[in-house]
Structure 1
Amino acid sequence: MKIHLSDRAKQWFKEEMDVEKGDYIKFYVRYGGSSPLHDSFSLGVTKEEPITVGEEVEVDGITYFVEEKDLWFFDGHDLHVEFDETLDEPKYEYKK
């Protein structure tokens, strides 16, 4: 499992979540909603430091990560964080 971010998605995190060098963005599994991979579970995002990193990528001094306990959600897929221009928010795609 790898994490990929588009340039526009990275810009959104900087502007909307006020992230800067040294900060952490956590992608986590939450109960509720749905995703292409699992009914009743969706992906959430928050600004907080990791406990046990399962996967991470550092871009422009910002670390984007998934905790080890949440890796099951991705079921062997990479996380691609793109940007939805219509909704003006990130969108998540899961690719093998």
Structure 2
Amino acid sequence: MKIFISTDAMNWFQQEMEAVKGDTIRFFARYGGSSPLHEGFSLGVTKDTPFEPTVTYKVEDILFFIEETDEWYFDGHDLHVELDSQKDELKYAYKKA
């Protein structure tokens, strides 16, 4: 399982979440909504401190991670984070390696 962040998505994190060098950003399973992987759950994103990260991806000295407790949500899929330019918001794709 891996994380991929597009250049446009990275710009979004820097502008909308004010992400700067040294920040750590967590992707996590949250109750509510839906996703292609799990009905009733959706993907959340927040600035957080890693505790037991199972997957990490570092770009421009910003660490993106998924905690071991949230690994179930991805069901072995890689996470691809891109920007929906029409809505100016993040969009997620889940792809098997």
Structure 1 segments (4+ residues) deviating >3 Å: none
Cα distance in 1, alignment partners of residues 17 and 75 from structure 2:
28
- Residue 9 of structure 1 is matched in structure 2 by 9
Cα distance in 2, alignment partners of residues 25 and 91 from structure 1:
16
- TM-score normalised per structure 1: 0.98
Q: Which amino acid aligns with 2:25?
A: I
Q: Which amino acid aligns with 1:14?
A: Q
Cα distance in 1, alignment partners of residues 44 and 24 from structure 2:
14
Query: 1:10-51: CA deviations, max 9, x gaps?
Result: 000000101111000100000000000000000000011111
| CA RMSD across the alignment | 0.5
Q: Which amino acid aligns with 1:61?
A: D
- Residue 62 of structure 2 is matched in structure 1 by 62
- Residue 21 of structure 1 is matched in structure 2 by 21
Q: Percent identity?
A: 57
Unmatched runs of 5 consecutive residues or more in structure 1: none
SS of the residue corresponding to residue 36 of structure 2 reads coil
